[in-house]
């Protein structure tokens, strides 16, 4: 049994994975500048020590963004 490795595919995967890590890192660094989590449709409730946070608008926005990205990369 011998396993053949297509090194071009491995190289592409490493480049894409590295790019994703860099983009996610930059997004974490710039997270304070974006209003994610503080959008008008996000609900905040609280009384005393109990706080409830329901990020409806943030979930919808992230869903649309992720859907566009996945559709962009899955087209052939």
The pLDDT, as a whole number, for residue 72 is 87
Beta strands (DSSP E) in the chain are: 43-47, 50-54
Specify the pTM.
0.58
Residue 49 CA, chain-centre distance (Å), reads: 30
pLDDT digits (tens, 9 = 90+) for 11-52: 999 999 999 999 989 988 887 787 777 889 999 999 999 999
Query: Residue for token digits 């990205």?
Result: 69
**Boundaries of every domain in the chain:** 7-74
């Amino acid at each position: 049994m011998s396993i053949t490795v297509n090194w071009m595919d491995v190289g592409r995967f490493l480049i894409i994975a590295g790019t994703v890590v860099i983009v996610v890192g930059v997004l974490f660094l710039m997270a304070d500048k974006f209003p994610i989590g503080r959008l008008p449709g996000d609900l905040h409730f609280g009384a005393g020590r109990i706080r409830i946070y329901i990020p409806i608008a943030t979930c919808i926005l992230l869903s649309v963004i992720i859907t566009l990205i996945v559709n962009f990369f899955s087209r052939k």
